[in-house]
């Protein structure tokens, strides 16, 4: 039997080339030291920044520092399983997390693993944790409103789909409650919500999940939690993983999404801890020099994509905690400069019963005004300026100065508008209900009511509209418009309800 030398050599070449493509070529190093969520690794000379590492016991990590003799890596997961001298394998890949509809209604950790006691998450879709933000050409202006259901926000600092609006204030001033109200209000609006909890107590996260479940909001929400008991590395990666989860719906399905980062102050502290452990030089207030880039590359991923890219959007509500109202501190200043406006919640207002405790003087929306529904624009064109002037007038009146008649009228109207804008937690209103409530105040229908009777009357009035004239609310909700004829009809109806209300309590 004769053999063809050329045929044999070609077969050998094919086998060699197939072996080169199929064999798993891995570079292996050794752990020099490990602790506090970071590890130093020797022997990975060709490792790249951001490359994913696999430690023994199935723990994953990421290359953070490239040094002359070793590699500094952060460890995602239980770093206590790793021992000095154990092997580390470089993968040639970057970190990704599972994404898709299967995550909706679930509570997961910073790597997308379930922590709610439910079944394992099985999905064919994964997305890179770190991903470039959409370019300018891929975006379009923010035009569509994202209603929060809160009168004070939707009238004075409106938010559009694709915007980044910072929620800022001292602790215990209602920042998380404002964000949760917004998530609850997206029920039935075809908006997928992602709530990222960074450095929160596990009991606090459990309370958030319970609140969302009670109000039926977990059906459109994904909760991603890196609690205070977890390592700084997990707290660092969680917001980026949350952005990747929301990006899937925005980019792949063209949907509108809302993501809440609660909060970026703790995220910055976690990154500072990692950086100092890896011996990066500290800068201002001991934060590393790239702390601005940390948050800018996260928040820039929020966008309104144009029709060629599917038309989806990601609206971001980052939360930042201040100390004693220091809005000009380092991290608050950084995030304010990255975002498209801020809602500042003031402790004094909160303690005096004005909730949401929005300080209209320094709260602003640089984009959302273009997305505000015409009906809201018509009833609250100068509401923010009027309330800011009212606050100044109130401080002036406290000095005991006598006011002229016009100033007294302004003060009286302002007191009633403050009552109009007060709202209970987790009770968002539809656009029509908000417009009618604000119209009652701005049109002067409440001027002859005692201040303490304004809130009960508004509730009574909205119940009356729901029972006897639902068409007014429905038309505003459907069209977003408020024509002159409809406006006058609503004012007449408000006056009629007021007569009945006054008659009932005067008896």
Spell out the domain ranges in the chain.
23-94, 98-372, 379-506
Phi-psi region for residue 279, left (φ > 0), alpha (ψ -120 to 50) or beta? left
Q: What is the pLDDT of residue 23?
A: 44
CA distances from 304 to 158, 222, 256, 314, 359 (A): 16, 20, 9, 7, 28
The predicted-structure confidence for 266-312, as pLDDT tens digits, reads as follows 999 999 999 999 989 898 899 999 999 999 999 999 999 999 999 99
- pLDDT in the model for residue 400: 64
Q: Work out the mean pLDDT of the chain and round it to a whole number.
A: 92
- Beta strand 221-226 with 191-198 is parallel
- Residues 27, 139, 366, 453: which is the catalytic one? 366
Distance (Å) of CA 402 to CA 395, 410, 414: 13, 14, 17
Q: What is the pTM of this model?
A: 0.92
CA distance 12 to 18: 10
User: What φ, ψ does residue 304 adopt, rounded to 5°?
Assistant: -110, 110
Check for a shared fold between 23-94 and 98-372.
Answer: no
Backbone angles phi, psi at 121, to 5 degrees: -90, 115
Q: Does domain 98-372 have CATH number 2.40.40.20?
A: no
Fold classification of 379-506 is: 1.20.150
Asked if 213 is an active-site residue, the reply is no
* Burial degree of 132 (CB within 10 A; 0-12, 13-18, 19+): exposed
Could you tell me if 313 and 250 are in contact, meaning their C-beta atoms sit under 8 angstroms apart? Answer: yes
CA distances to 58, 192, 454 from 41, rounded to whole Å, are 16, 40, 66
How many whole angstroms separate alpha carbon 78 and alpha carbon 75?
A: 8
**Buried/exposed code over 196-223 (b: 16+ C-beta within 10 A; e: otherwise):** bbbbbeeebbbebbebbeebebbebbbb
Each residue of 386-407: b (16+ CB within 10 Å) or e? Answer: bbbebeebeeeeeeeeeeeeee
Per-residue pLDDT of the chain (507 residues; tens, 9 = 90+): 455 677 777 777 777 666 545 444 458 999 999 988 899 999 988 889 899 999 988 899 999 999 988 999 999 988 889 999 999 999 989 999 999 999 999 999 999 999 999 999 999 999 999 999 999 999 999 999 999 999 999 999 999 999 999 999 999 999 999 999 999 999 999 999 999 999 999 999 999 999 999 999 999 999 999 999 999 999 999 999 999 999 999 999 999 999 999 999 999 999 999 999 998 989 889 999 999 999 999 999 999 999 999 999 999 999 999 999 999 999 999 999 999 999 999 999 999 999 999 999 899 999 988 999 999 999 998 898 889 889 888 887 777 667 788 888 889 999 999 999 999 999 999 999 999 999 999 999 999 999 999 999 999 999 999 999 999 999 999 999 999 999 999 999 999 999 988 877 765
Residue 20 burial (C-beta neighbours within 10 Å; 0-12, 13-18, 19+) = exposed
Instruction: Using alpha carbons, list the distances in angstroms from residue 14 to 11, 17, 19, 411.
Output: 5, 5, 8, 88
pLDDT in tens, 133-183: 999 999 999 999 999 999 999 999 999 999 999 999 999 999 999 999 999
Domain 23-94: which CATH number of 1.10.3720.10, 2.60.120.200, 2.40.30.20, 3.40.50.1820: 2.40.30.20
Task: Report the distance separating Cα 444 and Cα 479, nearest Å.
Answer: 25
Strand arrangement, sheet containing 256-262: 107-108, 221-226, 191-198, 256-262, 313-321, 166-169, 341-345, 364-365
438 and 155 Cβ atoms separated by less than 8 Å: yes
Q: Calculate the alpha carbon distances from 382 to 362, 378, 379, 385, 448 in Å.
A: 15, 10, 9, 5, 22
Q: Which residues have a Cβ under 8 Å from the Cβ of 130 and sit 6 or more positions away?
A: 50, 94, 95, 240, 297
């Amino acid at each position: 039997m004769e053999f063809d030398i050329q045929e044999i050599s070609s077969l050998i070449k094919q086998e060699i080339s197939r072996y080169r493509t199929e064999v798993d070529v891995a570079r292996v190093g050794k752990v020099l030291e490990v602790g506090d969520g970071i590890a130093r690794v020797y022997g990975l000379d060709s490792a790249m920044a951001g490359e994913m590492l696999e430690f023994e016991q199935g723990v994953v990590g990421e290359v953070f520092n490239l040094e002359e003799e070793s590699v500094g890596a952060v460890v995602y997961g239980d770093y206590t399983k790793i021992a000095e001298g154990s092997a580390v394998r470089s993968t040639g890949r970057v970190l990704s997390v599972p994404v898709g509809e299967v995550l909706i209604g679930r509570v997961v950790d910073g790597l997308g693993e379930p922590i709610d006691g439910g079944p394992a998450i099985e999905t064919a879709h994964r997305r890179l944790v770190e991903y470039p933000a959409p370019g300018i050409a891929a975006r379009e202006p923010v035009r569509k409103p994202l209603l929060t259901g809160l009168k004070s926000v939707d009238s004075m600092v409106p938010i559009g789909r694709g915007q980044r609006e910072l929620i800022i204030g001292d602790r215990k001033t209602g920042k998380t409650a404002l964000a949760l109200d917004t998530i609850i209000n997206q029920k039935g609006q075809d908006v997928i919500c992602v709530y990222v909890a960074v450095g929160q107590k596990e009991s606090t996260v459990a309370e958030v999940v319970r609140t969302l479940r009670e109000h039926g909001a977990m059906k459109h929400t994904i909760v991603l939690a890196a609690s205070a008991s977890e390592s700084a590395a997990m707290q660092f990666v969680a917001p980026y993983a949350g952005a990747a989860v929301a990006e899937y719906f925005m980019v792949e399905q063209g949907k509108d999404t809302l993501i809440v980062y609660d909060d970026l102050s703790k995220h910055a502290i976690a990154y500072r801890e990692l950086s100092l452990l890896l011996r990066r030089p500290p800068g201002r207030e001991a934060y590393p020099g790239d702390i601005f880039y940390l948050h800018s590359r996260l928040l820039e991923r929020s966008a309104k994509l144009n029709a060629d890219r599917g038309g989806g959007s990601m609206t971001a509500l980052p939360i930042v905690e201040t100390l004693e109202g220091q809005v000009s501190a380092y991290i608050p200043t950084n995030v304010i400069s990255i975002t498209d406006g801020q809602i500042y919640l003031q402790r004094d207002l909160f303690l005096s019963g004005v909730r949401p405790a929005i300080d209209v003087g320094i709260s602003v929306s640089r984009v959302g005004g273009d997305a505000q529904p015409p009906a809201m624009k018509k009833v609250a064109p100068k509401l923010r300026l009027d309330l800011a002037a009212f606050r100044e007038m109130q401080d002036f009146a406290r000095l005991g100065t006598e006011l002229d008649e016009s100033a007294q009228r302004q003060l009286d109207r302002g007191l009633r508008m403050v009552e109009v804008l007060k709202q209970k937690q987790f009770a968002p209103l539809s656009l029509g209900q908000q417009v009618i409530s604000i119209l009652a105040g701005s049109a002067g229908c409440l001027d002859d009511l005692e201040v303490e009777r304004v809130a009960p009357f508004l509730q009574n009035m909205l119940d009356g509209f729901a029972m006897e004239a639902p068409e007014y609310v429905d038309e505003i909700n459907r069209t977003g418009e408020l024509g002159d004829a409809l406006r006058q009809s609503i004012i007449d109806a408000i006056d009629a309800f007021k007569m009945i209300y006054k008659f009932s309590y005067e008896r």
